[in-house]
Amino acid sequence: MADKSTARESGKAITRDELIALLNEDLSREYQAIIAYVVYSQVLKGAEYMSIAKELEVHAGEELAHALTIAGQIDYLGGQPTVTVKPVKTSEKAEDMLRFDLENENDTIRAYRERVRQCEALGEYAIAEHIREILIDEQEHQTDLATALGIDAPDVSRS
């Protein structure tokens, strides 16, 4: 018999309560993204960053929509949406801020891919569909950030 941590990581049979806890972790990450995008979009300096700064403003609004979606799914499952925000890294260097954002997007994509598998294992197909919709935006954010940094979007299919 697999232990609970293995089941949680593999997308196999988790409980509703475990799913609520994991979605609350995701919600904390969405709050983090909202704050980071709001701040970074306003403090990025330099002509080379003006285009991505405007795009980060758009990302902030999309992350708010994600937070509302995730909070709604937590409520649907009978849970209480968290008010805890994951820490937001800051820097005076534009490239550092973009790298922080990219790392956060990579983590979010990994988590949501796993959450889709976990939702489906629990039979929560509609929640999985909501998360798939969010994943589309998150992968676009990842691509935007990687492009601004002059790199390819990272392969996050492996841990």
Return the pLDDT at 3.
Answer: 42
Residues 100 and 120: their CA atoms lie apart, in Å, by 30
Residue 1: exposed, middle, or buried by beta-carbon count in 10 A (0-12, 13-18, 19+)?
Answer: exposed
For 13-20, what is the mean pLDDT?
A: 94
Q: How confident is the model at residue 159 (pLDDT cuts 50, 70, 90)?
A: low
Residue appearing with tokens 């929640």: 127
Tell me, yes or no, whether 2 lies in a domain.
Answer: no
The enclosing domain of 67 has a CATH number of 1.20.1260.10
3-state secondary structure of 156: coil
Return the pLDDT at 13.
Answer: 76
Tell me, yes or no, whether 158 lies in a domain.
Answer: no
Return the pLDDT at 86.
Answer: 98
Residues 112 and 107: their CA atoms lie apart, in Å, by 9
Residues 102 and 68: their CA atoms lie apart, in Å, by 22
pLDDT in tens, 118-154: 999 999 999 999 999 999 999 999 999 999 999 999 9
pLDDT in tens, 57-116: 999 999 999 999 999 999 999 999 999 999 999 999 999 999 999 999 999 999 999 999
Overall domain count for the chain: 1
Tell me, yes or no, whether 3 lies in a domain.
Answer: no
Tell me the one-letter amino acid at 45.
K
The domain of 75 spans 15-149
Q: What is the DSSP letter of 77?
A: T
Tell me, yes or no, whether 1 lies in a domain.
Answer: no
Return the pLDDT at 90.
Answer: 95
| Residue 89: both structure tokens together | 């890294």
Res. 20: pLDDT tops 60: yes
